[in-house]
Copies of this chain bind each other. A is one copy, B any other.
Amino acid sequence: MLTAYFQNLVPFTDDEIADVLSYFEHETIKKNTTLIKEGQISNKLYFVEKGIGRSYYLKKDGKEVTQWFFGAGNFMASADSFFQQTPSFYYLEVIEDTLLYTITKEKLDLLIEKYRKMETIIRLLAIEILTSFVHKLNSIQFQTARERYDYMLSEFPDISYRAPLGQIASYLGMTQETLSRLRRSEQA
C-alpha cells in the first residue's frame, strides 16, 4: 500500500523502492494508544496501513477537539511539529488496532538527500495535505451542522461509522447532542 502510494506520485525502480522501504519500520499499535502528546516534538512520520489515527487538542476547559482523522492509505503526523521540529500542538493517537509504517525525521532526511524523488514526494505530500485541510475549512465555514455532517459522510464514509460520535462531533465543530439528533433525522 505504501509502495503504491509512492509509485503513484513518482516512479521508482524496484531496487529503489526496496531501499526506500528499508528506511521504514512496521509497527502494530493497540487501540487507544497515544503516539504523541501535546508539547512533544514529533520525531516520526506514520503511514496508516490499517486502522484509524486521530489528532486532537485540548481546549482550556479540558474538552478534546478532534483536528483530523487519518484513515488507511494515508500519511499521519503532527505535521507542523514533524516537519518544522517544533513542540506539537496536538495529541496523536490510534482509535482502533492499527498497522503503521513509521520513519524518523533523521532517516527521512537521509532519504531525501539520497533520492531527489523523495524530496518531490514530500513536497507533493505537503501540498496534498494542504489541499485537504483547505477543503475541510471551506466545508465547515458558513455551513450548517447538517451540511458539515454531509461533508464528513462523503469525505470519510468509513470513519463516520467507526469513530465515536463525540470525536466526530468535535471534528465538525458541533456538540455531540447535535450530531446525535442529526443522525436520528437521517434515518427517518
Interface residues, chain A, with chain B CB atoms under 8 Å away: 57, 59, 65, 67, 79-80, 83-84, 89, 116, 119-120, 122-123, 126-127, 129-131, 133-134, 136-138, 140-142, 170, 173
Contact = CB atoms under 8 A, between A and B. Distances in A.
A65 B140 CA distance: 12
Contacts of A59: 142
A137 B133 contact: yes
B84 A127 contact: yes
B133 A80 contact: no
Contact of A123 (B57, B67, B123, B133): B123
Contact of A134 (B80, B123, B140, B141): B80
A137 B129 CA distance: 13
Contacts of A131: 79-80, 84
